A and B are shown apart, each in its own frame.
Chain A
Amino acid sequence: MKGDKNYILAFLLPAFLLLGTFVYYPFLKSFYLSFFRTNGFFNKKFVGLDNYERLFSDDLLGAATLHTLEIMLYVLIFQVGIALVLAVMVDSISKGKQFFRTVFFFPIVISGAAISLLFVLIYNYQFGLLNGIIAKLGFEPILWMSETGSLKAVAVPTVWHYVGFYFVLFLTAMSKIPSDFYEAAKLEGIGGIKKTTMLTIPLILSDIKVVMILAITGTLKIFDFVFILTRGGNGTELLGTYMYKKALVDQNFGYGSTIAIYIVIFGVVLSLITNRLLKREEVTY
């Protein structure tokens, strides 16, 4: 059995080295930097817990956290929801499954930046696509990126971009359900919506849980849509963009790192809560 141990070590080593270099080392470095006041790339001064104190009095960070939670809500309801609905529908058809799978998955292949630029041209007040149509119909143009509506406007491409990913995950999970479950349901006369809510969804609940955690942690990383569509204006500043601005625009890597640590803790706490809320016995088949 000693040989097995060596094997385990040998196989783990490359992954450990890569992870260590690109994930754990930067993380620890961020933690280290969070105790410094940095001014550009060349000067830093030890400030103890100053950056952490600042976290608690930073109104902009508080606002960014709330905006992130709001967009997380949209993502959980619409991104996961639409993905689930689409997956159920595609799963129940017999022809063209492959076609729809490709079509719905496609937006993920496009880069977020490209989609954002597309939506800049759709939403623009002066010569955007939407206002162009509205003007043609003879109505007053609408300010899509208003003070209250900007976050929702940003949520639309965000949701659309990743629906396909969760859709494919759901579809794969559904295809793993043995067909005898459905045959039994058929004999009992269960079909339609009832079959979906009583049979399919409970059976893929563990996958739904994974998708929700992915969606939650994914929201913490949203960056391109906000940065290109609104630049964080009109109440759309999210944690990701705020951290970027502090670290890279302001060149205050110390405080930027502190925000990064905050985001990690925030993400872990949210994932734990989700896990706890969805705790149920795992279904095995």
Chain B
Amino acid sequence: MKKKSQALCALSVATVLLLSACGSNGNNNSGNTGGDASPAPSPAASTSPSPEASKAPEAKDVTLRVFSTFAGTDAAKPAFQKALDDFSAKFPNIKITNDAMSANDDSFRTKVNTDMSSGNEPDLLFYFVGADAKGFVDAGKVVPLNALLDEDAEWKAGFNPAALDAVKQPDGNIYAAPLTGYYEGLYVNKDIFKKYNLELPTDWDKFTTAIKTLNENKVIPLAAPFDQSHYLIEHFVLGAAGGAGHNSGILDAVNPDWELGLSKLNEIGKLGAFPKDAATIDLNMAAKYYSQGKAAMVIEGSWAQGSFSDEVKAASTVLPFPAIPGGKGDGKSIIGGFGSGFYLSKSTYDNADKKDAAVQLLKFLTSPDTIKAIAQANSGTPAAANVQVEGLPQLALDGFKMASEAPTINAPIDTQVAPETFTTIRQHIQGIVSGKDTAKAALEAAQKIEVANKK
């Protein structure tokens, strides 16, 4: 009996140890998020945190976690890594964990939202502005940068004012420091068009004629996936509804121009516009069809240029999506803007140990030099004032020209409506193209979801 109880004792001690190990982990985490209770409180007290952020922090080891989407096939991944390395070389006491996840999928959104809601915020977060950020901004997980920008005139002056304006949340505060902007457009392989004596698709007739001819010649006219049909939806709505209509949302009523735009998917689907396997490929594969010269057109963002093969890049130009007849589109407006930036976590800002280092890194990563390097890599519009990106290919110059001539530059629909609303539209695209479903039914279903989400 005695032996038994000893064993029992030992076992419970082991269990307690196991549990307490778990427990202390939890404490550490909450300590970080709590802010004041940092892992090493006494040294924190001895070095008084200087409010002057530009002053180098005293050589105390700090580790900062930076979450971004500069991963996988992102064209700016090496440039971003180099920026972090340069910073580490300058401040050897600041260790940076480059926590990056590719933006090819939606899973990085899950990661960001889980981190932000579970007290595991990265110190700096590179993420979208707008509807995507609404949750953690409203919950006070990130700090407004207005005061920091005003304190450091040099840093603020480095930005293009329009870029700073574009990243404002609806409450009027700037939470994200922008890096590069982007535009989306219709990429056209001029060589293929020349081969079949086609005119560039600057209006709807030329666009449909091109689709017909290309399909007859067994070239994929427009590489696009049906599941990840984000760009298709945005541009067909923009082409039919124009900038104002595109931004009108779907909460109050279904805009008939949206219906017109989406119903055109059926029309061009009948002409054979899409790849045969459009229902099962993803955006990556669609872009690959274009970048290997198998497709003549693709709707993509400026960031995709880096992944085109050299041959296709040289043959490409980018055009605004043509206006759809009978709609309000102007054929010149585009989707684009400054849709993302670096957020500074509230928990980091409140942590005297980390605050200065994090602010310093934030300023370094959004300095004109870094912005220039990133813009060079991803062909985006630099968010910095007076930065000229040199040595850009003609395609990127075409893109900037398109953006500068656009009467309206609109944030994509999925940053304006609830995620579920947008997926509801996406789920109907295959049906609309094949004729099994109608644009009207799709938009009515989406509106119902939008109302359930927002009212």
Q: Which of B433-455 contact A (CB under 8 A)?
A: 452-454
Number of interface residues of B (CB under 8 A): 48
Assess the A39–B418 pair: CB atoms within 8 A: yes
State in angstroms the CA–CA spacing of A160 and B26 once bound together: 41
**Chain A residue at minimal CB-CB distance from B277:** A125
Among B4, B114, B136, B276, the residue within 8 A (CB) of A3 is: B4
**Chain A residue at minimal CB-CB distance from B131:** A40
The answer to the question of B59 belonging to the interface, with a C-beta cut-off of 8 Å to chain A, is: no
State in angstroms the CA–CA spacing of A127 and B295 once bound together: 13
Residues of B within 8 A of A41 (CB): 113-114, 116-117, 135-136
State in angstroms the CA–CA spacing of A60 and B423 once bound together: 12
Mostly, the B contact residues are helix
Residues of A within 8 A of B106 (CB): 248-249
State in angstroms the CA–CA spacing of A120 and B277 once bound together: 12
Residues of B within 8 A of A143 (CB): 276-277
Assess the B135–A248 pair: CB atoms within 8 A: no
State in angstroms the CA–CA spacing of A204 and B244 once bound together: 69
Among B114, B136, B138, B285, the residue within 8 A (CB) of A124 is: B285
The answer to the question of B280 belonging to the interface, with a C-beta cut-off of 8 Å to chain A, is: yes
Among B227, B292, B452, the residue within 8 A (CB) of A231 is: B227
Assess the A248–B116 pair: CB atoms within 8 A: no
Assess the A10–B11 pair: CB atoms within 8 A: yes
Return the CB mask of A211-247 against B: 1 if under 8 Å, else 0.
0000000000000000001111110100000000110
With A17-B19, A230-B280 already in contact, the answer to whether A43 and B135 are too (CB < 8 A) is yes
Residues of B within 8 A of A100 (CB): none
Among A6, A10, A249, the residue within 8 A (CB) of B419 is: A249
Return the CB mask of A122-164 against B: 1 if under 8 Å, else 0.
0011110000000000000001010100100000000000000
Residues of B within 8 A of A251 (CB): 109, 113, 419-420
Residues of A within 8 A of B235 (CB): none
Q: List 5 A-B contacts (CB under 8 A).
A: A7-B7, A42-B139, A60-B427, A245-B423, A248-B106
**Other than the known A13-B15, A43-B135, A251-B419, what 17 A-B pairs have Cβ atoms closer than 8 Å?**
A10-B11, A10-B12, A11-B11, A37-B452, A41-B113, A42-B117, A42-B139, A124-B281, A126-B220, A127-B292, A145-B279, A147-B279, A231-B227, A233-B227, A233-B280, A245-B423, A249-B423
Q: Which 6 residue pairs spanning A and B have beta carbons closest together?
A: A250-B420, A41-B117, A233-B279, A40-B135, A42-B135, A230-B280
